Structure 1
């Protein structure tokens, strides 16, 4: 288990399942994550993801990117600016550049958690999707299916709570006897730290944070790594793989999801006015030069 410092106890979370978010939601809650009426680009992104995201593929990608490329040196704000040209094709709720979504998430968190002791939470909102730089020319424009969308464990049976579950039937692992039992290759309650997740921006940016020895607390790293793991934090599935540590962190991941999902708005953000605040947080929690 990677050691990180924890700044706030889980009991301090103001998690509210009634969705009294503390910030303005621009459309009805039921309209978010509406995949039935989503554009064809969304279902196509998931068709490819569920077909090609195999255990072997994700293992190889994690090995490749965990080394970090010392020739790529880039600050977090520069990474965020790369997102100006990127649209997440798996997202039915947003057609705006990703930097807007990052700042919308961060500012919603900041409104509900204004105290400076939660500045790490503000920063997490801003940086949580920076792994999507993999879609940019700087990173050779990796395919959407290998970068975005909900994440899921590999090496075990695909749970039916996964969105577009039927597409998994085209995945080579679907009928592989090693992988199609409930726990597959894992021991029960092995802990998510020891589970191979589908490869994408969550896992990649988590590796960037850890590899660069960032100073973010454990709660933040869980949010970054598992914010797209909807079967777990939305549907309470895959609990046969989680351990006590994961369950302690689950409420934080759920709390983060409220801001990540419901703060999405088609109105652009005044990026320049917010830049000084988030740059100050970047300097605090990422004091070293970053490799990608």
Structure 2
């Protein structure tokens, strides 16, 4: 799908459709030659992803990460993967799931307190404006957070620390770039010599598909898409699975575990991430106006009903 070339200053160019995206190798910033402009502040008037900003959500977000870092162990992840990998909770369409998320607000997000369907459509519509020919990326944006249905009774009503927040590998050392890293001191894996080294249970270049990630909506939605035989490209599944893996795509941590396919797919994730993060705003989307377009994409890439 994507090819690369070099500019005179040796920054790679990611080619897709008729667009060019320049990814800066030092800080992974995306220089966008399109119509979406990064806003100067989040919905609360603060810098995006500023976990120390004096906002009304600061304390609750930090408490969320404390619980997340204490409880996300390799044993927990294995249990969750076994339980939810059965996909025996409910059957419903993609759009039905979008509507179900209307009442969900992410407790880990310092940038937005709107229902999730607003964020999904903001992200998808921002991408659609800049990349009209990449319909798979529009749909990926719409569905990337649907795994947050894990908070509902039909799905076990998991606590938010087991659903949202930045994700990270378990089974190896917790990188210091992970937000509120200090709370890992209370995680038993942090003190287990089998799990607290750079590689832990993994090996160099093993590939992220061999790595156990902290449990949450990313991994669950990846399972749903893959097991329901979605025809989305591999880059889309990579985005869904790792879009909350900020230690990697923001800080460059854990690259020693990546293989060549991961490296290529990461370029698409970095493109996607700008829209996922910076499209959060109070600008409302006319749901009924855009609904027919997204229904056509779900019909193209998914069965009518999915097992969840």
If the length of structure 2 is used for normalisation, what is the TM-score? Answer: 0.88
| Higher-RCO chain (CA-CA 8 Å, sequence separation at least 6) | 1
Is 1:67 aligned to 2:86, yes or no? Answer: yes
1: CA distance, partners of 2:206 / 2:83: 24
**Partner of 1:22 in structure 2?**
35
Note if contact 2:118-2:284 (Cα within 8 Å) is conserved in structure 1: yes
Note if contact 1:15-1:251 (Cα within 8 Å) is conserved in structure 2: no
In the TM superposition, 1:178-189 aligns within 5 A as 178-189=194-205
**Partner of 1:284 in structure 2?**
300
Secondary structure of the structure 2 residue equivalent to 1:31: coil
Structure 1 residue ranges, 4+ long, deviating more than 6 angstroms after superposition:
none
Structure 1 unaligned residues grouped into runs of 5+: 1-7
**Partner of 1:134 in structure 2?**
150
1: CA distance, partners of 2:277 / 2:64: 19
Note if contact 2:93-2:304 (Cα within 8 Å) is conserved in structure 1: no
C-alpha displacement at 1:61, in angstroms? 0.5
Is 1:9 aligned to 2:27, yes or no? Answer: no
Query: Which of the residues 279, 293, 298 maps onto 1:263?
Result: 279
C-alpha displacement at 1:100, in angstroms? 0.3
Is 1:229 aligned to 2:235, yes or no? Answer: no
- Bigger fraction of residues in helix: 1
In the TM superposition, 1:156-167 aligns within 5 A as 156-167=172-183
**Partner of 2:121 in structure 1?**
103
C-alpha displacement at 1:268, in angstroms? 2.6
Secondary structure of the structure 1 residue equivalent to 2:298: helix
Structure 2 unaligned residues grouped into runs of 5+: 5-14, 23-28
2: CA distance, partners of 1:273 / 1:136: 27
In the TM superposition, 1:200-211 aligns within 5 A as 200-211=216-227
- Bigger fraction of residues in strand: 2
Note if contact 1:212-1:288 (Cα within 8 Å) is conserved in structure 2: no
**Partner of 1:150 in structure 2?**
166
- Using a 3 Å threshold, how does the CA distance of structure 1 residues 149 and 10 change in structure 2: closer, same or farther? farther
1: CA distance, partners of 2:147 / 2:62: 21
- Using a 3 Å threshold, how does the CA distance of structure 1 residues 19 and 91 change in structure 2: closer, same or farther? farther
Secondary structure of the structure 1 residue equivalent to 2:299: helix
Aligned length: 282
2: CA distance, partners of 1:98 / 1:24: 21
RMSD: 1.5
Note if contact 2:30-2:270 (Cα within 8 Å) is conserved in structure 1: no
- Using a 3 Å threshold, how does the CA distance of structure 1 residues 237 and 283 change in structure 2: closer, same or farther? same
If the length of structure 1 is used for normalisation, what is the TM-score? Answer: 0.93
C-alpha displacement at 1:138, in angstroms? 2.9
Note if contact 1:10-1:251 (Cα within 8 Å) is conserved in structure 2: no
Note if contact 2:21-2:30 (Cα within 8 Å) is conserved in structure 1: no
Secondary structure of the structure 2 residue equivalent to 1:15: strand
Secondary structure of the structure 2 residue equivalent to 1:240: helix
**Partner of 2:8 in structure 1?**
none
**Partner of 1:83 in structure 2?**
101
**Partner of 1:3 in structure 2?**
none
Higher mean displacement: 23-32 or 197-206 = 23-32
2: CA distance, partners of 1:94 / 1:68: 30
1: CA distance, partners of 2:216 / 2:247: 16
**Partner of 1:238 in structure 2?**
254
Query: Which of the residues 186, 191, 210 maps onto 2:207?
Result: 191
C-alpha displacement at 1:182, in angstroms? 0.4
